[in-house]
Structure 1
Amino acid sequence: MPGLLLAAGDETGGVHVIHGLGGCGKTALAQAVFNEVTSSGRRIGLWVNASEPSTLRSGMLAVAADRGAEAGELAAAHKGQRALADLVWSCLHSSSEPWLLVLDNADDPTTLGEGGWLRQSPRGTVIVTTRQAGSQVWHGARIHRLGVLPIEDAALVLRDLAPEAGSVEDAETVARRLDCLPLALTLAGSFLSRQLLESWSMSDYQRHLDDNPTELIDQGAAPGDSERNARQLVGRTWEISLAALADEGVPECATLLRLLSCWSSDPVPLSLIRPEAVTAARFDAVHPPLTGPRVEAALRGLLDHSLVSLVSLDVNGEAVRCVKTHGVVLDSVAAAVPEGQRTLIVAAAAKLLRGAVPEGDAQAQDAHRVSHLAPHAANLLRRVEDSDSARSVAGLGTRLAAGLFAGGDFQAALALAQAAAESAGRWLGPDDSVTLRAEHCAAISLFRLGRFEESEALHRRVLDSRERVLGPEHSETLESRQDIHEPLSQLQRIDDCLATLRATAEIRSRVLGEHHRDTLHARALLIEYLAVADSVDEFDRIGPEIVAACEEHLSDVSFTTVTARHNYAYGLYRFGRWGQAEAEARRALRGRELVHGPDHALALSAAVLLSWILRELGQIEESLSLGRRVVLGQEQVLGREHPYLLTNRAGLAEALAAAGEVTEAQDLARQNLPLCERVLGLDDPVTVKTRGLVG
């Protein structure tokens, strides 16, 4: 605002156009500048409602009268005997005082252009507020795009209006949910401040927003005629623009905006709505229909009316052009989609999103390319209203969740898998294969996040359902039988862990063959738990054999081969064969980094194993360096309270103390102790060890 304020107060002959989404505060900004300039006496102020030709004409007639037009001149202009615009600007040019003229809500620039209403004068400055960004009428004007408020200012708006409703943190939470749109913030604050029968906190308001956000937000508007107050309702901000676009011959804008409302307010890659993809998604049954050749015109219309904006998103180091829509607008648009159109729009949105997700088994490298699509899949799940859409969208959500899991983003994978499972369960039933796939993905994510008991319980439910519905030898039943071993092992049920892996390997060997990838994977997992169970003879007999079979029948750097090497190296370490273990652990670490990336949880697991081995071999400097890398990496990847991190931080502190790095060891132990006590318990061995290191 400072630049605009300076121009309005000191500049002459300038035209400034403030454009942005309805509700972003264009009028409020113009009003603030207007008040500042006029209250200081630097200029007289002239304000005209330019939303309709009639209000524009009557307002400009008042401007002419204010600036000295004679009664006869005004009458002649009113009767059409003289061009009113010429009279107005003649009066403005000859004004004895400098002025500021605001043309507010000029959302149809052609009205200004065709009537000759927008001109420049050496006696004053013009400010125009509009939703229409792209117009030849603005040629020569200075353009100011107005977005949303910074989060701190947005929270301040809520706190100013409803100071008793919550803390600054509560206000920031609500502000983020409202995407910091000034109109939505004002309505929310007004609602919270005016309650009589109920007394909602900001937290209450936040919870109710998920039910019907547009209706709730609009309840904050002052009572009155709905048409007169249309611009003060978030539910109407976009309708005004879409109606104008339809009049301009671009009705497809409505369908494109409805499509975008299926996804989230996060940036949407333009590749998702490329013409050939839209044509294949079949929008011809939607009204108004959207065809590939009309996507460009529809997108341009939304951009020109400030309903969307173009942004750039960094995807795996590559700049991707995207379209971004305000979240409050998306909620409002989605709520207003005609009932008969909703399933068609959701199906098309799912097809477009599915085309951007790689087919086949999820790979870590794929996750980096599609992680930005996860919010759109999550929002699409909320738009599902029938079983057909649920099957398609939940399946897509599970595929994306599996990709996130492969890439090591376990928290995001869990959230998306749980959302997919909830939607599929509601529409398809708890035993449907789509529901069970989503729950399986959630179960393995829970394990990686250290929530072992929850993981085991969910795995057990999925395994029992799959065994009953699909049979004991179905590939998905065997997947559950294999993967339940992980929480079982962390819950110290090693015999159960070994039994389920042996059973999985035996059935797969019989059904798929001894050297099938899935058979070899179950056997590769078995290596680790033979070591944990101190089954030295069986470990020595089959460990090298399994590693060799994986190398022979799978690629040297396949996930299964790398897993076999990693587990074999762990067994060698556990049995005190440090020299052999070092060589195998280094190969395992290289393999993990190649397959998953250096910051993945499994790569960090291989790194900590090598650090343990090197410590036993007396290679202290490299051991400590790896230990520090692991602790830092696990805190970022797994979270501050993950049991693996707490254990490895305690181990690093112990190693540092033994190496004479007492200060660093004590600092780590002090950081670790309260977390260990809360997460692991007061009497856990790791907690006891950490307590002893605090000093």
Structure 2
Amino acid sequence: MLGEDHPYTLTARNNLAAAYESAGDLGRAIPLLEQSLDDRRRVLGEDHPATLVSRSNLASAYESAGDLDRAIPLLKRAVEDSVRLLGDEHPDALIVYGKLARAYLLAGDLDRAIPLLEQTLADQLRVLGEDHPNTLTARNNLASAYQSAGDLDRAIPLLEQTLADQLRVLGEDHPNTLTARNNLASAYQSAGDLDRAIPLLEQTLADQLRVLGEDHPNTLVSRSNLAGAYQSAGDLGRAIPLLEQTLDDRRRVLGEDHPDTLSSYNNLAGAYQTAGDPDRAIPLLMRALEDARRLMGEAHPMTRTLSANLAAVLRT
């Protein structure tokens, strides 16, 4: 027996938490990551590289759970420590910079997200090279930020380049390639180009079902996005059943309190409202809004979106 505090034990605990997070089981991942960080700080010290990794991983899990109030301060601390101990051009420091920028993006703080993402991409191109997976991820994240800012003229070419590079470097079936294809399709949809968006989303979903399986979180994202594209095309006959299936699957796989589950409540309610069925839309939005307030607080972008959507349905 190695004991509770052996470095191998600490690594095993961290790896198990990462597996839970990859499966979307944040209810088990986060407590394990919190314990891992506490143990590594106690056993290895604040400045040990493994402690830095644990702090970054915990912040990422908070981000996945929609808890940006805890994720962002932790990522700021991780950036400061990484720069101080490793230097601002170390690959691990660049990864943490990218995570902080993505958290700003999710919080809707584009004024801080976009410059940080631009800086991160430039640094990774210089330090890691054009084809490094982290560089490809940074380009994808910057494109997503441009899309969020409504700047599709910069977002779409960057997403097209990212997908081409990932196909060349990582291959057709790599999870990052599938994500890049999904993101490009989403940008086409935002630009109103459903003729390119829908076939790409259909291909992505088919590939993810084959490569990742029915219940993988990325598969659920693609199914939701395809349903949204069908809805944008006015095809509620295909959109609503797909949204209903996605909500059922997310409740089962991710749990009631996962941000993606709340998003599914909102998306399905929107489709019911579009179909002229507010009696089914209102209870879904009320349920999701109550959960978002409890989990994320009044100021979170998800809470504000749900509140506005519910008010719009009630006015109608």
TM-score, normalised via structure 2 length: 0.76
Partners of 2:213 and 2:60 in 1: how far apart? Answer: 19
Deviation per CA, 1:532-589: give whole Å up to 9, x if none. Answer: 1222322343321221111111111112212211211111111111111112222232
Structure with the higher fraction of residues in strand conformation = 1
The alpha-carbon deviation at position 483 of structure 1 amounts to 1.5
Matched, 1:640 2:214: yes
Partners of 2:137 and 2:30 in 1: how far apart? Answer: 22
Distance 1:616 1:505, change over 3 A: same
Q: Structure 2: where are the runs of 5+ without partners? A: 276-316
The alpha-carbon deviation at position 674 of structure 1 amounts to 3.4
Equivalence map 1:596-675=2 (5 Å): 596-669=170-243, 671-675=245-249
Distance 1:554 1:631, change over 3 A: same
Matched, 1:689 2:267: yes
1:516 to 90, 103, 109: 90
Question: Which amino acid letter does the alignment assign opposite residue 533 of structure 1?
Answer: A
Question: Does the Cα contact within 8 Å between 1:436 and 1:462 map onto a contact in 2?
Answer: yes
The alpha-carbon deviation at position 660 of structure 1 amounts to 4.1
The alpha-carbon deviation at position 511 of structure 1 amounts to 1.4
If you compute each CA radius of gyration, which structure gives the higher value, 1 or 2? 1
Partners of 1:431 and 1:446 in 2: how far apart? Answer: 21
Distance 1:429 1:690, change over 3 A: same
Equivalence map 1:363-378=2 (5 Å): none
Partners of 1:691 and 1:542 in 2: how far apart? Answer: 35
Q: Structure 1: where are the runs of 5+ without partners? A: 1-426
In structure 2, what is the equivalent of residue 459 of structure 1? 33
1:531 to 94, 102, 105: 105
Identity %: 27
Matched, 1:450 2:24: yes
Question: Does the Cα contact within 8 Å between 2:173 and 2:207 map onto a contact in 1?
Answer: yes
1:568 to 120, 142, 160: 142
Matched, 1:475 2:53: no
Partners of 1:465 and 1:531 in 2: how far apart? Answer: 30
Q: What SS does the aligned partner of 1:606 have?
A: helix
Deviation per CA, 1:236-287: give whole Å up to 9, x if none. Answer: xxxxxxxxxxxxxxxxxxxxxxxxxxxxxxxxxxxxxxxxxxxxxxxxxxxx
1:582 to 156, 163, 180: 156
Question: Does the Cα contact within 8 Å between 1:647 and 1:686 map onto a contact in 2?
Answer: no
Q: What SS does the aligned partner of 2:116 have?
A: helix
Distance 1:500 1:627, change over 3 A: same
Question: Does the Cα contact within 8 Å between 1:453 and 1:491 map onto a contact in 2?
Answer: no
Distance 1:673 1:543, change over 3 A: closer
In structure 1, what is the equivalent of residue 307 of structure 2? none
Distance 1:495 1:638, change over 3 A: farther
Question: Does the Cα contact within 8 Å between 2:63 and 2:71 map onto a contact in 1?
Answer: yes
Equivalence map 1:339-418=2 (5 Å): none
Equivalence map 1:239-318=2 (5 Å): none
Question: Does the Cα contact within 8 Å between 1:631 and 1:649 map onto a contact in 2?
Answer: yes
Question: Does the Cα contact within 8 Å between 1:650 and 1:686 map onto a contact in 2?
Answer: yes
Partners of 2:167 and 2:77 in 1: how far apart? Answer: 31
Partners of 2:75 and 2:267 in 1: how far apart? Answer: 33
Question: Which amino acid letter does the alignment assign opposite residue 503 of structure 1?
Answer: R
Q: What SS does the aligned partner of 2:88 have?
A: coil
Distance 1:486 1:603, change over 3 A: farther
Distance 1:518 1:594, change over 3 A: farther
In structure 2, what is the equivalent of residue 359 of structure 1? none
Question: Does the Cα contact within 8 Å between 1:527 and 1:543 map onto a contact in 2?
Answer: yes
The alpha-carbon deviation at position 490 of structure 1 amounts to 1.8
Question: Which amino acid letter does the alignment assign opposite residue 499 of structure 1?
Answer: P
Deviation per CA, 1:305-353: give whole Å up to 9, x if none. Answer: xxxxxxxxxxxxxxxxxxxxxxxxxxxxxxxxxxxxxxxxxxxxxxxxx
Question: Does the Cα contact within 8 Å between 1:681 and 1:687 map onto a contact in 2?
Answer: no
Distance 1:560 1:684, change over 3 A: closer
Question: Does the Cα contact within 8 Å between 1:525 and 1:564 map onto a contact in 2?
Answer: no
Equivalence map 1:18-97=2 (5 Å): none
Partners of 2:104 and 2:247 in 1: how far apart? Answer: 32
Partners of 1:525 and 1:561 in 2: how far apart? Answer: 13
Distance 1:513 1:626, change over 3 A: same
Q: CA RMSD in A?
A: 2.5
Question: Does the Cα contact within 8 Å between 1:635 and 1:645 map onto a contact in 2?
Answer: yes
Partners of 1:686 and 1:673 in 2: how far apart? Answer: 5
Deviation per CA, 1:90-134: give whole Å up to 9, x if none. Answer: xxxxxxxxxxxxxxxxxxxxxxxxxxxxxxxxxxxxxxxxxxxxx
Q: Could you tell which deviates more after superposition, 536-545 or 510-519?
A: 536-545
Partners of 1:543 and 1:434 in 2: how far apart? Answer: 34
Question: Does the Cα contact within 8 Å between 1:443 and 1:459 map onto a contact in 2?
Answer: yes
- Determine which structure has greater relative contact order: mean sequence separation of CA pairs < 8 Å that are 6+ residues apart, divided by chain length: 2
Question: Does the Cα contact within 8 Å between 1:446 and 1:452 map onto a contact in 2?
Answer: yes
Question: Does the Cα contact within 8 Å between 2:179 and 2:218 map onto a contact in 1?
Answer: no
Matched, 1:548 2:126: no
Question: Which amino acid letter does the alignment assign opposite residue 475 of structure 1?
Answer: P
The alpha-carbon deviation at position 591 of structure 1 amounts to 3.6
Question: Does the Cα contact within 8 Å between 2:60 and 2:99 map onto a contact in 1?
Answer: no
Question: Which amino acid letter does the alignment assign opposite residue 522 of structure 1?
Answer: V
Deviation per CA, 1:344-382: give whole Å up to 9, x if none. Answer: xxxxxxxxxxxxxxxxxxxxxxxxxxxxxxxxxxxxxxx
Report the count of equivalent residues: 269
Question: Does the Cα contact within 8 Å between 2:114 and 2:146 map onto a contact in 1?
Answer: no
Q: What SS does the aligned partner of 1:590 have?
A: helix
Question: Does the Cα contact within 8 Å between 2:117 and 2:142 map onto a contact in 1?
Answer: yes
The alpha-carbon deviation at position 595 of structure 1 amounts to 4.4
TM-score, normalised via structure 1 length: 0.36
